[in-house]
């Protein structure tokens, strides 16, 4: 069942030397059951298909994509909160998808992988103090003595730049939004995890606090060697800290690679649309979003055949409509120039092609069709 973008692994290996990846997801598929609201509509909705992702210790990987693209599901599957129905999730050499119920529970309780939830107000018990919240991962499994927990909680709080003496005995309602998010981060790192999955850690924060929290993630990965997966839609600040980025669209990975390269020179039209749409205080040289949107009034595209982005893609043609999407599970292999996505001009440029994969029929040619 486990198929992946073959280039992923080889390219990653060459990029980061011989270190074995901490997390290696291959061919991941997740679908949710749906109840029959309307007659006969009970079926499973595929939310992730054939997703591959590799994360090494000390690396920050960003995941971007729109609402409903499967970002959160990918993160939840990684911590074992959602059962995948295809593919494998190797964490430190162990296949999480093969674990039984109680083994998975033990794994989650080991605190080696932590999840930082999107909304701190809703993921923090309003009646607990900050100290108790941070020590919760231990309290939940009955580990450590009361004093040891307090020491570890203070340690974690100081790692995120909070003074336990000052805010340790306050409740979430009595601290600011930026502090709450840092408390969430402290709770996530108190077990000294190897991997942190952070779901939209900054979407509710203003620019200064956003930079503060992302800066902390950056510091933690350097000081603790923590591997971090950050889900964010703020491309600019993500670019400031992340090493690599994976772009999801409707449950499929459409592009993946070193973040500055992917954002600077997107090879997938969807990534290009994302970067063009991101607001910035300087008007630059970049493409205009309107240049990348599909013309209005085009015939509806058939769903589930061909490229997943084709219905919204300005550059889609019959090939995108009918040919199975490149690198689909069990699908025919894609011609090399398509999969590598390198434009003809820079096909020989190995440095820029390293680890940069794109799933597009016209990855190398769509730019030429811009007006």
Partner 1 sequence: MSRPAEATVEPLRAESAPSTGAHTHVPASAAPVLTVEGLDVTIGRTVRAVRDVSFSLARGEAVGLVGESGSGKSLTCRSVLGVLPPGCRVADGRITLSPSTDTAADGATDADVATLPASESAELTALPRKQWNAIRGRRIGAVFQDPASYLNPSLTVGGQLAEQLRVGRGLSRSEAYARAVELFAAVGLHRPAELYHQYPHELSGGMLQRVLIAIAVSCEPELLIADEATTALDVVIQAEILELLQSLRKEQGLALLLVTHDLAVVAESCDRVVVMYAGEIVEDGPTTEVLAAPAHPYTEALLRVASIGDWGRRELDIIPGRPPETGADLPGCRFADRCAYVTKECTAGPVALRTLDGGRRARCLRPAGPSGETRSAAAADPGLPVPQGAAL
Among the residue ranges 9-17, 77-85, 97-105, 232-240, the one whose residues contact partner 1 (CB under 8 A): 232-240
Question: Under the criterion CB under 8 A, does residue 167 sit at the interface with partner 1?
Answer: no
Q: How far from 92 is each of 25, 89, 113, 227, 228, CA to CA, in Å? A: 11, 10, 11, 12, 14
Q: How far from 42 is each of 20, 251, 267, 346, CA to CA, in Å? A: 42, 20, 37, 48
Q: How far from 27 is each of 5, 300, 343, 355, CA to CA, in Å? A: 8, 29, 26, 17
Task: Tell which positions 294-313 bind partner 1, by CB under 8 A.
Answer: 294-296
Q: From 39, 48, 40, select the one nearest 249 (Cα to Cα).
A: 48
CB 309 within 8 A of CB 359: no
- Residue 110 DSSP code: T
Q: Nearest distance from residue 330's CB to partner 1, in Å?
A: 31
Q: Nearest distance from residue 118's CB to partner 1, in Å?
A: 13
Q: Please, which residue, 72 or 132, has the CB nearer to partner 1?
A: 72
Q: How far from 330 is each of 27, 70, 220, CA to CA, in Å? A: 10, 21, 39
Question: Under the criterion CB under 8 A, does residue 334 sit at the interface with partner 1?
Answer: no
Q: Count Cα neighbours of 315 within 13 Å in the Cβ-side half-sphere.
A: 20
Among the residue ranges 76-84, 108-116, 119-127, 234-242, the one whose residues contact partner 1 (CB under 8 A): 234-242
Among the residue ranges 72-80, 107-115, 285-293, 360-368, the one whose residues contact partner 1 (CB under 8 A): 285-293
For residue 288, the SS3 value is: coil
Q: Nearest distance from residue 99's CB to partner 1, in Å?
A: 34
Question: Under the criterion CB under 8 A, does residue 244 sit at the interface with partner 1?
Answer: no
Q: How many residues bind partner 1 (CB under 8 A)?
A: 50
Residues that bind partner 1 (CB under 8 A): 66-67, 176-177, 206-212, 214-215, 218-219, 222, 233-237, 239-241, 243, 259-260, 263-264, 273-284, 286, 288-291, 293-296
């Amino acid at each position: 069942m486990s198929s992946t973008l073959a280039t992923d692994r080889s390219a990653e290996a060459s990029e980061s030397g011989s270190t074995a990846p901490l997390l290696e997801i291959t061919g991941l598929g997740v679908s949710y059951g749906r109840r029959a609201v309307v007659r006969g509509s009970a079926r499973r909705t595929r939310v992730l298909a054939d997703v591959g992702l590799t994360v090494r210790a000390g690396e920050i990987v960003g995941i971007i994509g729109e609402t409903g693209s499967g970002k959160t599901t990918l993160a939840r599957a990684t911590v074992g909160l959602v059962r995948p129905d295809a593919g494998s999730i190797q964490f430190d050499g162990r296949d999480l998808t093969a674990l039984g119920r109680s083994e998975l529970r033990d794994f989650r309780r080991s605190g080696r992988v932590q999840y930082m939830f999107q909304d701190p107000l809703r993921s923090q018990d309003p009646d607990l103090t900050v100290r108790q919240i941070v020590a919760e991962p231990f309290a939940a499994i009955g580990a450590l003595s009361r004093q040891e927990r307090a020491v570890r909680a203070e340690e974690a709080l100081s790692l995120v730049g909070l003074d336990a003496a000052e805010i340790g005995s306050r409740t979430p309602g009595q601290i600011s939004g930026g502090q709450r998010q840092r408390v969430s981060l402290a709770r996530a790192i108190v077990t000294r995890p190897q991997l942190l999955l952070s779901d939209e850690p900054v979407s509710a924060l203003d620019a200064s606090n956003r930079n503060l929290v992302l800066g902390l993630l950056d510091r933690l990965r350097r000081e603790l060697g923590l591997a971090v997966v950050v889900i964010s839609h703020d491309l600019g600040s993500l670019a400031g800290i992340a090493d690599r980025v994976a772009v999801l669209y409707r449950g499929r990975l459409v592009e993946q690679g070193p973040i500055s390269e992917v954002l600077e020179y997107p090879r997938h039209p969807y990534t290009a649309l994302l970067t063009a749409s991101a607001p910035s205080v300087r008007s630059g040289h970049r493409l205009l979003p309107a240049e990348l949107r599909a013309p209005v009034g085009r015939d509806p595209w058939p769903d589930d055949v061909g490229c997943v982005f084709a219905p919204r893609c300005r550059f889609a043609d019959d090939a995108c409509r009918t040919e199975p999407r490149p690198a689909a599970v069990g699908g025919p292999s894609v011609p090399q120039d398509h999969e590598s996505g390198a434009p003809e001009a820079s096909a020989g440029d190995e440095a820029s092609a390293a680890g940069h994969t794109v799933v597009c029929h016209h990855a190398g040619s769509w730019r030429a069709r811009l007006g």
